[in-house]
Protein backbone atom coordinates (compact mmCIF):
# COMPACT_ATOMS: atom_id res chain seq x y z
CA UNK A 1 0.00 0.00 0.00
CA UNK A 2 1.09 3.57 -0.56
CA UNK A 3 1.16 6.57 1.74
CA UNK A 4 -2.08 8.58 1.79
CA UNK A 5 -1.39 12.29 2.43
CA UNK A 6 -5.00 12.78 3.55
CA UNK A 7 -4.54 10.73 6.76
CA UNK A 8 -5.40 12.53 9.98
CA UNK A 9 -1.79 12.87 11.18
CA UNK A 10 -0.71 14.41 7.87
CA UNK A 11 -3.55 16.92 8.29
CA UNK A 12 -2.41 17.66 11.85
CA UNK A 13 1.17 18.16 10.64
CA UNK A 14 -0.06 20.63 8.01
CA UNK A 15 -2.15 22.48 10.60
CA UNK A 16 -5.46 21.57 8.94
CA UNK A 17 -6.71 19.89 12.14
CA UNK A 18 -5.95 21.33 15.58
CA UNK A 19 -3.87 19.42 18.10
CA UNK A 20 -2.42 19.94 21.55
CA UNK A 21 1.23 20.17 20.58
CA UNK A 22 3.90 19.41 23.11
CA UNK A 23 7.11 19.68 21.08
CA UNK A 24 8.26 20.33 17.53
CA UNK A 25 11.58 20.41 15.70
CA UNK A 26 12.66 20.12 12.05
CA UNK A 27 11.90 16.40 11.89
CA UNK A 28 9.20 15.58 14.46
CA UNK A 29 5.96 16.85 16.01
CA UNK A 30 4.68 15.64 19.39
CA UNK A 31 1.05 16.04 20.40
CA UNK A 32 -1.49 14.60 22.79
CA UNK A 33 -3.53 11.56 21.74
CA UNK A 34 -7.18 12.72 21.68
CA UNK A 35 -8.31 9.22 22.72
CA UNK A 36 -5.74 8.56 25.45
CA UNK A 37 -5.29 5.18 27.05
CA UNK A 38 -4.05 6.98 30.15
CA UNK A 39 -3.22 10.50 31.36
CA UNK A 40 -0.33 11.95 29.38
CA UNK A 41 -0.69 9.62 26.36
CA UNK A 42 1.43 11.37 23.76
CA UNK A 43 2.15 10.71 20.07
CA UNK A 44 5.54 11.29 18.44
CA UNK A 45 5.12 11.74 14.68
CA UNK A 46 7.82 12.30 12.07
CA UNK A 47 7.19 15.04 9.54
CA UNK A 48 8.51 12.81 6.74
CA UNK A 49 5.68 10.85 5.13
CA UNK A 50 5.59 7.07 5.58
CA UNK A 51 2.79 4.61 6.41
CA UNK A 52 4.78 3.06 9.23
CA UNK A 53 8.19 1.77 10.27
CA UNK A 54 8.28 -0.74 7.41
CA UNK A 55 8.45 1.88 4.64
CA UNK A 56 10.09 4.76 6.54
CA UNK A 57 13.30 6.36 5.34
CA UNK A 58 15.93 5.02 7.75
CA UNK A 59 17.29 8.57 8.06
CA UNK A 60 14.02 9.61 9.74
CA UNK A 61 14.25 6.96 12.46
CA UNK A 62 17.19 8.41 14.39
CA UNK A 63 15.56 11.81 14.95
CA UNK A 64 12.20 10.12 15.66
CA UNK A 65 13.49 7.82 18.38
CA UNK A 66 15.72 10.51 19.88
CA UNK A 67 12.54 12.51 20.50
CA UNK A 68 10.66 9.41 21.69
CA UNK A 69 13.29 8.96 24.41
CA UNK A 70 13.17 12.67 25.33
CA UNK A 71 9.37 12.64 25.55
CA UNK A 72 9.32 9.36 27.49
CA UNK A 73 11.56 10.86 30.17
CA UNK A 74 9.44 14.03 30.24
CA UNK A 75 6.06 12.28 30.57
CA UNK A 76 7.41 9.99 33.29
CA UNK A 77 8.53 13.03 35.28
CA UNK A 78 5.52 15.24 34.46
CA UNK A 79 3.01 12.64 35.65
CA UNK A 80 5.08 11.04 38.41
CA UNK A 81 4.74 7.73 36.56
CA UNK A 82 6.27 4.44 37.63
CA UNK A 83 7.19 3.60 34.03
CA UNK A 84 6.46 4.36 30.39
CA UNK A 85 4.98 2.18 27.65
CA UNK A 86 6.23 2.80 24.11
CA UNK A 87 4.02 1.37 21.34
CA UNK A 88 4.38 1.40 17.56
CA UNK A 89 2.08 -0.55 15.19
CA UNK A 90 2.66 -1.62 11.57
CA UNK A 91 -0.27 -2.52 9.29
CA UNK A 92 -3.82 -3.56 10.22
CA UNK A 93 -2.92 -6.99 11.63
CA UNK A 94 -0.81 -5.25 14.31
CA UNK A 95 -3.55 -2.83 15.29
CA UNK A 96 -2.42 0.18 13.24
CA UNK A 97 -5.38 2.45 12.44
CA UNK A 98 -3.70 5.68 11.30
CA UNK A 99 -1.34 5.14 8.39
CA UNK A 100 1.36 7.66 9.18
CA UNK A 101 4.32 6.42 11.23
CA UNK A 102 3.81 7.34 14.88
CA UNK A 103 4.96 6.20 18.30
CA UNK A 104 2.73 6.15 21.39
CA UNK A 105 4.32 7.26 24.67
CA UNK A 106 2.13 6.42 27.66
CA UNK A 107 3.01 7.06 31.32
CA UNK A 108 2.25 3.96 33.42
CA UNK A 109 1.37 3.46 37.04
CA UNK A 110 1.69 0.28 39.12
CA UNK A 111 -1.60 -1.60 39.27
CA UNK A 112 -3.42 0.62 36.73
CA UNK A 113 -4.28 -0.93 33.35
CA UNK A 114 -4.40 1.01 30.12
CA UNK A 115 -7.85 2.17 29.08
CA UNK A 116 -9.11 0.70 25.80
CA UNK A 117 -8.80 2.83 22.67
CA UNK A 118 -12.59 3.16 22.40
CA UNK A 119 -13.01 6.24 20.27
CA UNK A 120 -14.13 8.39 23.19
CA UNK A 121 -12.31 11.70 22.96
CA UNK A 122 -10.78 13.40 25.99
CA UNK A 123 -11.96 16.89 26.94
CA UNK A 124 -9.83 19.57 25.22
CA UNK A 125 -9.10 21.31 28.51
CA UNK A 126 -7.66 18.08 29.95
CA UNK A 127 -5.47 17.58 26.88
CA UNK A 128 -4.29 21.20 27.10
CA UNK A 129 -3.44 20.81 30.79
CA UNK A 130 -1.55 17.56 30.18
CA UNK A 131 0.35 19.07 27.24
CA UNK A 132 1.34 21.98 29.49
CA UNK A 133 2.71 19.59 32.13
CA UNK A 134 4.92 17.87 29.57
CA UNK A 135 6.07 21.15 27.97
CA UNK A 136 7.02 22.46 31.40
CA UNK A 137 9.34 19.49 31.95
CA UNK A 138 10.78 19.69 28.43
CA UNK A 139 11.45 23.42 28.83
CA UNK A 140 12.54 22.94 32.44
Strand-pair partners of 104: 43, 87
pTM: 0.96
**Per-residue pLDDT at 17:** 96
Distance between CA 29 and CA 11 in Å, rounded? 12
Distance between CA 81 and CA 89 in Å, rounded? 23
- For residues 100 and 48, the answer to whether their CB atoms sit within 8 Å is no
CA angle (116 as vertex; 7, 98 as ends), nearest 5: 10
Distance between CA 93 and CA 8 in Å, rounded? 20
Distance between CA 43 and CA 22 in Å, rounded? 9
Distance between CA 114 and CA 76 in Å, rounded? 15
**Is residue 102 annotated as part of the catalytic site, yes or no?**
yes
Per CATH, is 8-138 categorized as 3.30.428.10? yes
Phi and psi at residue 84, to the nearest 5°: -140, 135
Residues 41-99 have pLDDT tens digits of 999 999 999 999 999 999 999 999 999 999 999 999 999 999 999 999 999 999 999 99
Scanning 25-123, the segments in alpha helix (DSSP H) are 58-78
Q: Domain residues of the chain, as ranges? A: 8-138
CA–CA distances in Å: residue 98 to residues 10, 61, 72, 111, 136: 10, 18, 21, 29, 28
Catalytic residue among 20, 100, 102, 104: 102
Confidence of residue 117 (pLDDT cuts 50, 70, 90): confident
Strand-pair partners of 105: 42, 86
Where on the phi/psi map is residue 89: left (φ > 0), alpha (ψ -120 to 50), or beta? beta
Amino acid sequence: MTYDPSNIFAKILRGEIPSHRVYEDDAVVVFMDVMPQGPGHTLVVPKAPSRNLLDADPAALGPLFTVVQKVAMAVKKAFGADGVTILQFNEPASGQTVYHLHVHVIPRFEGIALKPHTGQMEKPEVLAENAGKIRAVLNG
